[in-house]
Structure 1
Amino acid sequence: MTRQRSMFLQAGASRGFTRAALFTLTALSLAGCGGGSMLGGSSGSESSIGSRFSQLFGSKSQAVGEPAPTAAEQAADAQLTCPAVAIRAGASTLAVGAPGKPASGEDLRYQVTITRTARDCNLNGGQITARIGIEGRVIVGPAGAPPTVDIPVRVAVVQEGVGDKVIFTKAYRTSVAMGANGESTVYSFVAEDVIYPAPKGDAGDQYVFYIGFDPNGLKPEAAPRRHRSKARAG
């Protein structure tokens, strides 16, 4: 389990995910990192977000907990398998506390959840280009949320088996403006640059799109140390 979690949280890792409930996504917004788009709004904009979500994915979205659409329903091309979406165990919610405080009780600033998912796939030149969408809500806690909330998300393509193989993994960050009166806010995100080689034969049946919140995925790397040159003896 430790290996599975570290793989999800680190972009360069190569294996290990925990299978969770299958879902399918939706989205609309403008991501802080390339390859995604994001839209957030107050609870009053929930219907418009849902409407635009439907424009992107049509009937290819579902609420968390609903069974995923079959590959036949997702792909018009008989040669194309569009994997189901799974939320990684332990990564379905993101809770943030006040600085230096635990994210619980009166110290909870906000909690981000995933309520709906969707995906679609296209085959071109031996590669699959997929769009993975997430819709959810930012719930304001007792400590009060900041005006803008950053949402870190990781999307991965995994071939499951005796030794799970990571085909694609990327961390994204999106931002959503909170309501002026401290209201909970609906958000939506779509990763548009999920590209990987088309699997051969029945291997595609083992592929899964994994998603989840990844607060460590976009931490800046430590700057390399500079080696001081020794002064030459005179």
Structure 2
Amino acid sequence: MTCNRLMPAMGVPFARHLRVALALGVAGAVLSGCGGGSMFGSSSDSSPSIGSRFSQIFGSKSQAVGEAAPPPVDNELSCPPVSIRAGAATYAVAAAGKQPIGNDLRFQATITRTARDCTKTGDQITARIGIQGRVIAGPAGNPPTVEIPLRVAVVQGGVQEKTIATKVYRTTVSMADGDSVPFSLVAEDMVYPVPQGADGDSYIFYIGFDPQALTPEPKPKAARKKK
């Protein structure tokens, strides 16, 4: 069973496990800062170069979750801000038939950093959205690999939101390197029409985990033959 909500009742064993994992993450960030590299420089994704690709594309133009995006420079095209969709900030998976809380939690993924840039070609805008995060193993144990489903959407905000474009992306994370493993994904093919007038001021890039994307679509029922 999956759940993409924050779980307040993790239980004492997992809380201790989580504190240790986060401490390791902070230590890794400090060491990477001393070496001039990135905490996410090496990726646990099935593609070993995707973490470095995040850095190659966005450089220092990324922000931690909750931070304001850096302003555009020179003639750089301004992009909508990136925001995590409410209720989609975490992805928690439990042992079969269990709820993802306490000792039944197998793993939990969170988003920690984002980035974006935009290119205008004619009447279309192509956006590249970078997402970095971390997968932490739970007390119930984790599989050798974890598939992370993420949805990226271009939305026009307002009283009634309007979805302009949306797409699901998946990345596979190897858990062989430890109980707290970073992941990285760059969505490079989000294309949408250039907004009219001031409409673009209300555009948002919404991101978040989408467990439903891992569920196969039901096969259509065969039509019954008339007797």
**TM-score relative to the length of structure 1:** 0.73
| Distance in 1 between residues matched to 2:173 and 2:181, nearest whole Å | 8
Where does residue 14 of structure 1 map in the other structure? none
| Distance in 1 between residues matched to 2:202 and 2:105, nearest whole Å | 39
Give the partner amino acid of 1:63: A
Closer, same or farther: CA 62–50 of 1 in aligned 2, 3 Å = farther
Where does residue 21 of structure 2 map in the other structure? none
Where does residue 110 of structure 1 map in the other structure? 107
Is residue 199 of structure 1 aligned with residue 211 of structure 2? no
Where does residue 188 of structure 1 map in the other structure? 184
| Distance in 2 between residues matched to 1:170 and 1:156, nearest whole Å | 6
SS of match in other structure, 2:171: strand
Where does residue 176 of structure 2 map in the other structure? 179
Q: Tell me if structure 1 keeps the 8 A contact 2:119–2:127.
A: yes
Where does residue 125 of structure 1 map in the other structure? 122
Q: Tell me if structure 1 keeps the 8 A contact 2:145–2:173.
A: yes
Deviation by residue 1:62-113 (Cα, 9 ceiling, x = unmatched) = 111211223x34x725xx4310100011111111111111111111110101
| Distance in 2 between residues matched to 1:113 and 1:121, nearest whole Å | 25
Q: CA deviation at 1:135?
A: 0.4
Mapping for residues 89-108 of structure 1, pairs under 5 Å: 89-108=86-105
Q: CA deviation at 1:218?
A: 4.1
Closer, same or farther: CA 157–133 of 1 in aligned 2, 3 Å = same
Where does residue 30 of structure 2 map in the other structure? none
Where does residue 134 of structure 2 map in the other structure? 137
Relative to its length, the structure with more helix (as a share) is: 2
| Distance in 2 between residues matched to 1:201 and 1:165, nearest whole Å | 16
Closer, same or farther: CA 52–224 of 1 in aligned 2, 3 Å = closer
Where does residue 153 of structure 1 map in the other structure? 150
Give the partner amino acid of 1:139: I
Q: Tell me if structure 1 keeps the 8 A contact 2:50–2:186.
A: no
| Distance in 2 between residues matched to 1:140 and 1:110, nearest whole Å | 4
Give the partner amino acid of 1:122: T
Is residue 215 of structure 1 aligned with residue 214 of structure 2? no
Identity across matched positions, percent: 63
Give the partner amino acid of 2:59: G
Where does residue 13 of structure 1 map in the other structure? none
Number of equivalent positions: 185
| Distance in 2 between residues matched to 1:200 and 1:137, nearest whole Å | 37
Q: CA deviation at 1:51?
A: 5.0
Q: Tell me if structure 1 keeps the 8 A contact 2:132–2:184.
A: yes
Where does residue 44 of structure 2 map in the other structure? 40
Q: Tell me if structure 2 keeps the 8 A contact 1:121–1:131.
A: yes
Q: CA deviation at 1:183?
A: 2.4
Query: RMSD in angstroms over aligned alpha carbons?
Result: 2.3
Where does residue 60 of structure 2 map in the other structure? 59
| Distance in 2 between residues matched to 1:106 and 1:157, nearest whole Å | 37
Closer, same or farther: CA 91–99 of 1 in aligned 2, 3 Å = same
Where does residue 6 of structure 1 map in the other structure? none
Which segments of 5 or more consecutive residues in structure 1 lack a partner in the other structure?
Answer: 1-27, 29-38
Which stretch of structure 1 is more off in the superposition, 55-64 or 94-103?
A: 55-64
